[in-house]
Structure 1
Amino acid sequence: MSVLLQSTPDHLIPVESPPQHLSLDSTLEELALHECYVDISSQGAKVMQILNDNPLLPGVILTQNNHFVGVLSRRKILEHMSQIYSVELFSRRPIASLYHFAEREVFCYPSHTLIVMAARRSLQRPPDLLYEPILVEVAPEKYHLLDVHQLLIAQSHIHQLTTQLLHEQTRSQMMQTEKMSSLGRMVAGVAHEFRNPVNCINGNMGFLGNYVQDLLDLVEAYGAEHPDSEVITELKDELEFEFLKEDLQKILQTVRESAGRLTKIVGSLHGFSHMGDERYESANLEIHLENTLLILNNRLKGGITLKKNYGQIPEIYCSSGQLNQVFMNLIGNAIDAVEDVRQVGKEPIICLTTQQLDDNWVSIVIEDNGSGIPEEIQTRIFESFFTTKPAGKGTGLGLAISH
């Protein structure tokens, strides 16, 4: 249990300071700080008594007319008092005499300084100052003392927590990668099963169109040879032959387009089945963007305007599977963002822009006209499991995995 000492003209009042939960963003004000002001005219014996009564006190803050003068550490006081004749020399004299004899450079930091930053700077001090307490400015003209030992303990605790967090994030990333790999294998199997019947439909549509046209030509020729046949005339009227002939061509065209679309979807699924694959290969990024849009087409149907500003970019040697995952996450987030725009009567817009910047870099920009990311959380958007979406809608892994 740490002790906070507040000085009055006559005595010191111990105040218990509760333990704090530390994190990477913790600052000096979260540590146990010691407040002990002593007027520089006070006798050395009084200062020795203060240190004896409060063994956790790292030193005293010297003042003159309520203004800061300097710091005398416990280490330096005891070091000089333990020498021969020092007790007689300093105990009955003002502490100013000892201070001028043992004066050292003081390291002062604002209370909002990060613990990890203060610890690093503290360890960079000269060897003779390494164990001197640190002066913490908690308010203008108001100072507390921090024991450097407590600072290093806190820094060690933060390092341990950070290591543990990194381990958990790595484990989570590995689990997510394994999930995506398993999902990829399943999607690859489904895409393979779809591909055979789709290829069958595509391959036979040409023959089917030719056969239908041959049959129609035969019917026309038979009617031309027997124009007075009442049976043929009645049958044509009953079947609405002219409408049937026109509509049949439309149906065949619709089936062709649907089969072509199925082929594209199967190709996209096959590409996305390698999202967990880290193989590197030359890839056309615009094709991968189009495949992503095809997979997300069902979500894009609801009145979202999609603008494409594709520039001329070369093929890129990359992990296309991982980039597919990035495109899926970013465009999916853009769709979520513009859903709020529709609710206020604005037109939801998503814009994709590709551009070659120079010989070494290409740029892919995915923009939306949503409300944007609040400034106060922008530093956290790549944290695993951090999300502003309602429970069940967001996992907090999309941007983390993309990053």
Structure 2
Amino acid sequence: MPQEFCSLISPPVLAAGSDRDLRLDSTIQELPMYTFAVEVSVTGAEVGKYFDKYPLLPGVILLEQGKYIGMISRRRLVEFLMRPYGQELFFKEPLEVLYSYARLAILVLADTTPILAAMQNTLRRSPEFLAEPIVVHTADNSYKLLDPHELNVAAWQIRGVETQVRYERSQAQMIQNDKMARLGRLVDGVAHEILDPVGFIWGNLTHIANYSQDLLKLISAYDDCLPQGCAEINHIKDEIEFDYLAEDLSKAITSARSGAERLKKLVTSLQNFCHIDAVYPKPMDLHASIDSIVILIKSRLKGEITIIKNYGNLPPVSCFIGQLNQVLMNLLSQAVDSLLDESVRQQLQSDCHKSPKNPTIEITTAVISQPATQPNQTDSRWVSICVADNGPGMSDELQQQILENFSIEKRTEKETSLAVSYRIITARHGGKLNFSSKLEIGTKFEILLPLL
């Protein structure tokens, strides 16, 4: 063997990989990989010595003048040498000769590829190539070899983590559902207890108004019959300011009636919001549900925010109304928080030359159609619920975080309200939750529910 060939080969190096526990977003750079690259001018005999010395070495990276051109696996090299006259043809020839006969589809992946995505790419290969090692292109423009067995083991570990996460999440969701069901029953019972006395007040206010008018008529008749009256009666009238009392009594009764009506609507909205869903979805009036949520939202406001409702003609929509109420409350609460924070920020700003915008939330409903994506499909019809505000909008980083919460299952102790809302709309209702935001313009969330 010429001495110059031996100088072209560096012994294989095994990178142990990361010592961290694998997560759902782990990448293949965290797995053990071999660094073993040789020039194509090296013979198969010299490479075979390294395969004998390192029995776990999956293959060899081929370079031509230092540039990557391909890979030959241990299995392919052994197959060629075991052919009739294989050793005579290839054993002492440069690897470029063997590689010219063994041109195969090589899977090359970036080291930032997630392990689960790499496993999917591996399984898409033809069955005869499933055992072939994977070439990993690193950030420093070098190439390494990943044994598919290591990738398979890592993928199964992550699947186990994913299963555990889903189990823990389902357990937490069951506990949360039970807690919310108990809370809903408690609130419903309290609301019912409040509605009873409110009903008594509401029912008796009409009689009180009639009785007071009758009494005023009686007093007026006495005044007509006894215009002078007596000193004691005139003294009492002056003491109680009878003229003012007669004028203000009807206003006080009207105010009490208005307060009782508002309390009745608020408690009824609270009952609707705490609705306990049945096992199967039921057709519901979405506008009534939105009205109830708006009443609850307005209870925390003092007129700072204008809420505009643009309702279209909606049919009854089959849904889990309790969960949908939760989503609507989450979206409206986020819009209110954003507008209130912006209002406080504007008040604290020293530059008052810029005229503040009137904080507004606009709720729009409509039935829309989306064209079919395939020839054999028909156009789909959806119920659209848009919640838009004219707040400060979201930064690109915040929008990216929201998209990641929508698209990636993460092992977190506490999920955001938007992530919960996304799962309710997509997983429970087969719908879509879209959003868009622009700085200084506002944010818009759109719920799409399919019409069956």
| Residues 165 and 411, structure 2, Cα contact 8 Å, conserved in 1 | no
Give the drift of 1:276.
4.3
Q: What residue is the counterpart of 2:32 in the other structure? A: 32
Q: Which one is further off, 345-354 or 242-251? A: 345-354
Q: What residue is the counterpart of 2:330 in the other structure? A: 329
Aligned pair partner of 2:384 in 345, 349, 363: 363
| Residues 289 and 325, structure 2, Cα contact 8 Å, conserved in 1 | yes
| Residues 14 and 34, structure 2, Cα contact 8 Å, conserved in 1 | no
Does the residue aligned with 1:372 lie in a helix, a strand or coil?
coil
What amino acid is aligned across from residue 342 of structure 2 in structure 1?
V
Q: What residue is the counterpart of 1:296 in the other structure? A: 297
1:317 aligns with 2:318: yes
**Residues 316, 79 of structure 1: CA spacing in aligned structure 2 closer, same or farther, 3 A cutoff?**
closer
Aligned pair partner of 1:353 in 338, 360, 364: 364
| Residues 380 and 386, structure 1, Cα contact 8 Å, conserved in 2 | no
What amino acid is aligned across from residue 354 of structure 1 in structure 2?
T
Q: What residue is the counterpart of 1:232 in the other structure? A: 233
Q: Which one is further off, 142-151 or 369-378? A: 369-378
Q: Which one is further off, 289-298 or 117-126? A: 117-126
Does the residue aligned with 1:185 lie in a helix, a strand or coil?
helix
- Runs of 4 or more, structure 1, over 6 Å off, are 383-387
Give the drift of 1:209.
0.8
What amino acid is aligned across from residue 296 of structure 2 in structure 1?
I
The superposition leaves residues 218-243 of structure 1 with CA deviations (integer Å, 9 ceiling, x where unpaired) of 11111221112233222212211110
Q: Which one is further off, 166-175 or 82-91? A: 82-91
Q: What residue is the counterpart of 2:16 in the other structure? A: 17
Aligned partners of 2:399, 2:318: CA distance in 1, in Å? 35
| Residues 59 and 145, structure 1, Cα contact 8 Å, conserved in 2 | yes
Aligned partners of 1:244, 1:385: CA distance in 2, in Å? 66
| Residues 37 and 62, structure 1, Cα contact 8 Å, conserved in 2 | yes
Q: What residue is the counterpart of 2:128 in the other structure? A: 128
Q: Which one is further off, 151-160 or 107-116? A: 107-116
1:195 aligns with 2:195: yes
**Residues 203, 139 of structure 1: CA spacing in aligned structure 2 closer, same or farther, 3 A cutoff?**
closer
**Residues 227, 386 of structure 1: CA spacing in aligned structure 2 closer, same or farther, 3 A cutoff?**
farther
Q: What residue is the counterpart of 2:374 in the other structure? A: none
**Residues 248, 142 of structure 1: CA spacing in aligned structure 2 closer, same or farther, 3 A cutoff?**
same
Q: Which one is further off, 201-210 or 107-116? A: 107-116
Give the drift of 1:112.
3.1
Does the residue aligned with 1:170 lie in a helix, a strand or coil?
helix
Does the residue aligned with 1:299 lie in a helix, a strand or coil?
coil
Does the residue aligned with 1:195 lie in a helix, a strand or coil?
helix
Q: What residue is the counterpart of 2:242 in the other structure? A: 241
Aligned partners of 1:385, 1:214: CA distance in 2, in Å? 70
**Residues 8, 147 of structure 1: CA spacing in aligned structure 2 closer, same or farther, 3 A cutoff?**
farther
Does the residue aligned with 1:253 lie in a helix, a strand or coil?
helix
User: Where in structure 2 are the equivalents of 1:160-179 lying within 5 Å?
Assistant: 160-179=160-179
Aligned partners of 1:157, 1:367: CA distance in 2, in Å? 43
Aligned partners of 1:276, 1:334: CA distance in 2, in Å? 26
What amino acid is aligned across from residue 113 of structure 2 in structure 1?
T
Aligned pair partner of 1:380 in 400, 404, 411: 404
Does the residue aligned with 1:109 lie in a helix, a strand or coil?
strand
**Residues 301, 55 of structure 1: CA spacing in aligned structure 2 closer, same or farther, 3 A cutoff?**
farther
Give the drift of 1:64.
2.3
Give the drift of 1:381.
3.4
1:305 aligns with 2:267: no
Give the drift of 1:79.
3.5
% identity of equivalent residues:
37
| Residues 355 and 362, structure 1, Cα contact 8 Å, conserved in 2 | yes
**Residues 238, 169 of structure 1: CA spacing in aligned structure 2 closer, same or farther, 3 A cutoff?**
same
* Unmatched runs of 5 consecutive residues or more in structure 1: 1-6
CA RMSD of aligned residues (A): 2.9
Does the residue aligned with 2:292 lie in a helix, a strand or coil?
helix
| Residues 180 and 276, structure 1, Cα contact 8 Å, conserved in 2 | no
Give the drift of 1:267.
1.6
Give the drift of 1:273.
2.9
Give the drift of 1:103.
4.4
Aligned partners of 2:96, 2:293: CA distance in 1, in Å? 75
TM (normalized to structure 1)? 0.86
Aligned partners of 2:103, 2:75: CA distance in 1, in Å? 12
Does the residue aligned with 2:33 lie in a helix, a strand or coil?
coil
Does the residue aligned with 1:96 lie in a helix, a strand or coil?
helix
Q: What residue is the counterpart of 1:4 in the other structure? A: none
Q: Which one is further off, 136-145 or 285-294? A: 136-145
Aligned partners of 1:249, 1:193: CA distance in 2, in Å? 28
Matched positions, count: 392
Give the drift of 1:85.
6.7
Q: Which one is further off, 333-342 or 98-107? A: 98-107
| Residues 330 and 399, structure 1, Cα contact 8 Å, conserved in 2 | no
Aligned partners of 1:61, 1:13: CA distance in 2, in Å? 11
Q: What residue is the counterpart of 1:3 in the other structure? A: none
Q: Which one is further off, 152-161 or 246-255? A: 152-161
Aligned partners of 2:409, 2:60: CA distance in 1, in Å? 45
Does the residue aligned with 1:56 lie in a helix, a strand or coil?
coil
Does the residue aligned with 2:253 lie in a helix, a strand or coil?
helix
**Residues 127, 47 of structure 1: CA spacing in aligned structure 2 closer, same or farther, 3 A cutoff?**
same
**Residues 385, 398 of structure 1: CA spacing in aligned structure 2 closer, same or farther, 3 A cutoff?**
farther
Aligned partners of 1:386, 1:103: CA distance in 2, in Å? 43
Aligned partners of 1:279, 1:203: CA distance in 2, in Å? 37
* Unmatched runs of 5 consecutive residues or more in structure 2: 1-5, 347-355, 370-379, 426-452
What amino acid is aligned across from residue 295 of structure 2 in structure 1?
L
Aligned pair partner of 2:420 in 380, 400, 403: 400
Give the drift of 1:59.
0.7
TM (normalized to structure 2)? 0.78
Q: What residue is the counterpart of 1:41 in the other structure? A: 41
